[in-house]
Structure 1
Amino acid sequence: MIKMPPLQFAETNGIRMGFYEAGPKTDTPPVVLCHGWPELAFSWRHQIKSLGEAGIRVIAPDQRGYGATDRPEPVEAYDMEHLTGDLVGLLDHLKIDKAIFVGHDWGGFVVWQMPLRHPSRVAGVVGVNTPHWDRAPMDPIALFRQRFGDHMYIVQFQDPAREPDRIFGSRVEQTFDAFMRKPVARPPGTPEEQPIAGVGASARLNLAFPQMIANYDAKHDPRTPILSAEEKQVFVDTFTKTGFTGGINWYRNFTRNWERSAGLDHHVKVPSLMIMAENDAVLPPSAADGMERLVPDLEKYLVKDSGHWTQQEKPDEVSAKLIEWRRKRFG
C-alpha cells in the first residue's frame, strides 16, 4: 500500500483540519486535492505520491466532517460558504496566495465554487467527474424528487431522523465493499446505469443507495474491487470511528446552497480541466456537455473504462493528466 505523508493540522475557519502534503514547498501554484463522499484525503494517495515526485507541491485535506478533521454538530455548518471558507483558511495557514483546486465527486462541486466565491485565491480548477453547472432553475431537492422519486439517495439524505446515516454507520465494511468496485463493462449503446449484484432494478434506477447497502452481499458481487484489503481497511477504520453524518450533512445543504447562491455569477474565469470517466453511472461524461458556456478556458479529457472512483481506478492516467495539464498551463 502507498504510504501517506505525515498528517498535519491547520486551524481554519473555526475548525481543526487534517491534511497531507508532498512535493517542494517552493513550487507554485500548488495543487489542492478535494475528495468526495464517502471518501478521504486517502482517496488521492496515488496522486499525492505521483505529483510530489514530479516536483509539484500537493496538499490533500480531510474535509469538514471527514477523517481527521472536525465534525461540527449544526447541519448548516456544512454549507458551501463553510466548505469553501475552509480551503481559503488552509491556504492562509500555509501562507499560500493562490492554488489549483482539484475536486472529485462532492469535492468537485466545492472546487467549482472556489473561483466564484474566492476568485483572488484560485489559479485554476480541475473537476474529476463533477462538471460545473449553472444555478438550477428550482430547488435541487425538488428536482431530484421529481426526476428520481423519494428513494433517490440525495432525497433520502434529507431525512431529519438520519436513517441513511444509521444504515451506512452500522454496515461500514458493506458500504465500501459495495461502492468501491469497478463497474461491469457494458456493451455500446446500453444505458449508463450500472447493475449492482443482489439489488433490485428499482433500487438501482432510483439510486436508492441506503437500501442497496442494507441488502448488499459481497459474495454475490461479480464486480472487481478497486481497493486492496489493506486500503479498504483504512476507509473502514476511519468511518467506523467518525460515522457518515459529517459527509451526509453536505447533501443536507443542497437547498440552502441553492437559495444563497441566487446573486452569484456562475462563470469560471480561470484555466480549467474537466476529467470525465466513461462508465460513471452517477456523473456520466454527458453531464459535462455545454460546460464551455460557463467555463470558456476549458480542456476536457475522457478516462476510458473507468467508473466513478476515477483517481483510484485509473490512478496513473489521472496523475499523468494532472501533471501534464499543470505544466502546460502553469509552467
Structure 2
Amino acid sequence: MDQLQKKHIDTKRGFSYTYYISPAEKADSSKPVLLLCHGWPDNAHMWQWVVPHLLKTKNRIIVPDLLGYGGTSKPTDPKDYEIKGMTDDILEIFETEKIDSQIIPVGHDWGSYFAQRVYLLNKSRTAGLITLNVALMPPRSDAFDLDTFNAYTEKTIGYPAYAYWELFSDPEGPRTVMDPNLESLYYAIHGDSDDWMKAMFCTRGAIRAFVSQGRKDVPLKKYAQDESFKTAFIAEKKDGGMTAPGCWYRAMRENYQLPTEKKLAEQGVKVDQPYLFIGCTGDAVCRTDAIEIPKQAGIVSDVEVRELESGHWCPFEKPEEVGGIVVEWLGKKGFA
C-alpha cells in the first residue's frame, strides 16, 4: 500500500471515508479503474499483497476502507449500511478525484456483494466485474430470512452455510462476545486445520462457543502466524470494535437491503459484461459451485471461473495467484 496515496473525503450522507489511490501519471486514463472492495472483518489493507501485482498494469487503483472499517466512519445503526447509500458514497470518491473512466469493481467477501451492487446499480459506469469467493448473488425480491436460508443449505449441501450469522448478526454479539475476545476471534477466522471453516462457521453455535471461551487451540494459516499481522488486526479492532462491521450482517438480516434488491430484481438486471469469479477450494461458506445459480438463471454470460487451493481469505493466503489471475484476465479482455 506504500505505493498508493492515502486520502479522505466527507460524503453527502455525512460520513468520512479513507481511501488509497494510485498516481494518475502512472496509469492510462482510457483503461478502467480498479475499485478494490474488502469484506468482513478487514479494511483496505486486505489488498496490500495483491496491489503490487495490479500496479504492473496501466489501470488506476482505488482501495477504500468501506463503511464501518479502518479510517472510515463507523456508524452502529444498520440502516446506514443500505447498499445504495454505500455505493453512492464510494462514487463520490470518483467525483472528488475527477475520474470519469469506466470502473471494474473487485470484491472479496462482503466486498464482493458490494462490488456486484456497484456494477448493477451503475452499469453505465462499469466495464466488467471481478469477485473473489462470493459468486454473483442475484437480486432478491423477497425478504431474507436467516433460518429459512440455513434450512435450505442444510437440505441441499448438508450443513447450514450461514450458521455463523447467528453470532455475527446478533446486535449484542460483537460487544459481548467478539470485543472482549479479539485474539480468539483472530484464531477462529484464520485457523488452519482440516475442514476448519466448515466446523467453525457452518456448525450452529460453534464460533460463538470458541470465541466466548477465549480459545486459541488451533494452528494458524502461515500468513496469520506473523506477529505483526496479528498485532495490526487486534489493534484496529480494539480501536473501533466489532459492532460497526456487524452492521453489514444486520442490514441484510433485518432487510434494510430489500428495497434496492427488489428494485434490481424487478428490473431484471444482468452482468452482460466480462465477469471474473475466483473461488477457493477451502471455503465452505462461499462455495465455487454457487456460480451455477446465476449462470443457470441467465444472469451472467461472459464469465470466467478460476479456483484456487486456498481458504476464504485468498488475498492473504494466495496474493500472487490472485494478482496473477486478475492481471491475466484484464489483459485478455483488453482492460489492462
Under a length normalisation based on structure 1, what TM-score does the superposition of the two structures give? 0.86
Q: 1:270-327 CA deviation, whole Å, 9 max, x = no partner?
A: 2110001011011011222243221112111111x20100111111000001111112
Q: Which residue of 2 aligns with 1:159?
A: 170
Distance 1:126 1:165 in 2: 33
Aligned match of 1:195 in 193, 199, 207?
A: 199
Distance in 2 between the 1:181 and 1:318 partners?
A: 21
> What is the aligned partner in structure 1 of residue 157 from structure 2?
none
Structure 2 counterpart of 1:263, one-letter code: K
**CA–CA distance in structure 2, aligned partners of residues 20 and 217 of structure 1:** 35
User: In the TM superposition, what is the alpha-carbon distance from 1:130 to its structure 2 partner?
Assistant: 0.6
AA aligned to 1:236 is: I
Matched, 1:178 2:188: yes
The question of 1:262 aligning with 2:262 is answered yes
Name structure 2 gaps, 5 residues minimum: 155-159
Fraction of identical pairs, as percent: 26
Please say which of residues 107-116 and 166-175 is displaced more in the overlay.
166-175
Distance 1:281 1:183 in 2: 13
Match of 2:324 among 309, 314, 320: 320
**CA separation of 1:159 and 1:130: change in aligned 2, threshold 3 A:** same
Aligned partner of 2:8 in structure 1 is: 9
Pairing of 1:1-331 with structure 2 (within 5 A): 3=2, 5-14=4-13, 15-22=15-22, 24-27=26-29, 28-97=31-100, 98-136=102-140, 138-142=142-146, 143-144=148-149, 146-147=151-152, 152-160=163-171, 162-184=172-194, 194-196=198-200, 204-206=202-204, 208-218=206-216, 220-227=217-224, 228-254=226-252, 255-264=255-264, 265-292=268-295, 293-303=298-308, 305-329=309-333, 330-331=335-336
Amino acid in the other structure paired with 2:64: P
When normalised by structure 2's length, the TM-score is: 0.85
Unaligned runs of 5+ in 1: 187-191, 197-202
Q: 1:232 to 1:222 in 2, by over 3 A?
A: closer
Partners of 1:11 and 1:93 within 8 A in 2: no
**Cα displacement (A) at 1:211:** 2.8
Change (3 A) 1:92 1:182: farther
For residues 42-62 of structure 1, give each alpha carbon's deviation from its aligned partner in whole angstroms, at most 9, with x where no partner exists.
110011122124443222111
The C-alpha deviation readout for 1:139-181, integer Å capped at 9, x for no partner, is 22342354578x9332444434x23333111112221222124
Q: What is the CA distance between 1:183 and its match in structure 2? A: 5.0
Kindly provide the amino acid, as one letter, of the partner of residue 17 in structure 2.
Answer: M
CA contact 1:54–1:323 (8 Å) conserved in 2: yes
Alignment: residue pair count: 314
